[in-house]
Chains A and B, each alone.
Chain A
Amino acid sequence: MPFDDLTRLDDDALLVLYANGDPSAARILTGRLAPIVQAHAWRLLRDRAEAEDVTQEALLRLWRIAPDWRQGEAKVTTWLYRVTANLATDRIRRRRGRTVDLDTIPEPEDDRPGVEDRMQDAARADALHRALQGLPERQRQAVVLRHIEGLANPDIAEIMEIGVEAVESLVARGKRGLAAALTGHREELGYQDDD
């Protein structure tokens, strides 16, 4: 099958082709899934090297189970979100006790237009990340999947292997925790005019 036709196949079908030894399927799946996994890992870890490591490990696990993958039971991305979150959680647990002084991290030099906006985004994202780290693991995962990844509650329920109502509860409690943690940062992050 030509490469262009393969790109129209869904992840499930491509994974079957991958297991059958089609190298085009390997390339298309990696190109399609790696950015999704890396973005999710980054949003949970906010560390580029760690996010890449997690992405590589999550994909490696996917390739290894490819021959046993049961089509139609779960979406490939659902499975990957779950594995990525578990790998990231392990790393967050290992990080506990070792603190990183953000002031010691050099700011990237960038004089392109819009750099100020990007720096403000980075500052807000950093503040959000620190607030997320203060939440219980399940609340953090639910909030990131719902409000940063933009997934629907039923999809999140499948990823977290819980009911939709439990997802709603975790997200609501997580957002309350975040609001409380970020209250003190809003002015310094340029939100004095909000509400």
Chain B
Amino acid sequence: MGLDAFFDAARRDTPALSTQALDRMTAQALAVQADLAAPAPVTRAARPSRLAQLLGAIGGWPAMATLATAGVAGLWIGAVPPAGLVNLAVSVGAVTGVAEDDAYLVDPLPGYTLSLDLSETQ
């Protein structure tokens, strides 16, 4: 149907690659090859700071914020206990009229009191 004549013409009407273009492409091939042969630069990961290590250990800044909030809340409740908490403590017997009997009290230095007692008896 005559299309072959158009295809033949298209095949013949194809310009050859210029010498300059071929040289440029060869130079590019050699340049990329040189890049491939070059060892990749060794990049050592920077050692994380102590703060970063601490944050990493506890779970990051959100965990740190939670910890700080819990600490402040505990301090606040200890310094100014809400009335409801005191009543609850009395009702369960944790707080009595005698401070030494209060269940929540913990003697951090029992040995100190003991040594005082011993020194008084001598």
B115 on the interface (CB 8 Å rule)? no
Query: Given the known A-B contacts A59-B29, A124-B9, A191-B2, are A66 and B36 also in contact in the complex, defined by CB atoms under 8 Å?
Result: yes
Contact indicator B25/A34 (Cβ below 8 Å): yes
Contact indicator A125/B29 (Cβ below 8 Å): no
Query: Given the known A-B contacts A34-B22, A34-B25, A125-B9, are A21 and B15 also in contact in the complex, defined by CB atoms under 8 Å?
Result: no
B28 on the interface (CB 8 Å rule)? yes
Query: Given the known A-B contacts A35-B17, A124-B10, A125-B13, are A178 and B3 also in contact in the complex, defined by CB atoms under 8 Å?
Result: yes
**Smallest beta-carbon distance B115→chain A, Å:** 78
Query: Given the known A-B contacts A42-B14, A55-B17, A56-B24, are A64 and B32 also in contact in the complex, defined by CB atoms under 8 Å?
Result: yes
Query: Which residues from B are CB-within-8-Å of A191?
Result: 2, 5
**Looking at the complex, which one of B7, B11, B14, B25 makes contact with A59 (CB distance below 8 Å)?**
B25
B30 on the interface (CB 8 Å rule)? yes
B21 on the interface (CB 8 Å rule)? yes
Contact indicator B13/A122 (Cβ below 8 Å): yes
Contact indicator B28/A60 (Cβ below 8 Å): yes
Identify which of residues 85-118 in chain A touch chain B, using a CB-to-CB cut-off of 8 Å: 118
Query: Which residues from A are CB-within-8-Å of B25?
Result: 30, 34, 55-56, 59
Contact indicator B2/A186 (Cβ below 8 Å): yes
Q: How many residues from B make CB contacts under 8 Å with A?
A: 29
**Looking at the complex, which one of B14, B21, B30 makes contact with A23 (CB distance below 8 Å)?**
B30
Query: Given the known A-B contacts A27-B26, A35-B17, A56-B28, are A125 and B2 also in contact in the complex, defined by CB atoms under 8 Å?
Result: no
Contact indicator A67/B36 (Cβ below 8 Å): yes
A164 on the interface (CB 8 Å rule)? no
Residues of A within 8 A of B (CB): 18-19, 21, 23, 26-27, 29-31, 34-35, 38-39, 42-43, 48, 52, 55-56, 59-60, 63-64, 66-67, 118, 120-122, 124-125, 127-129, 147-148, 150, 175, 178-179, 182, 186, 191, 194-195
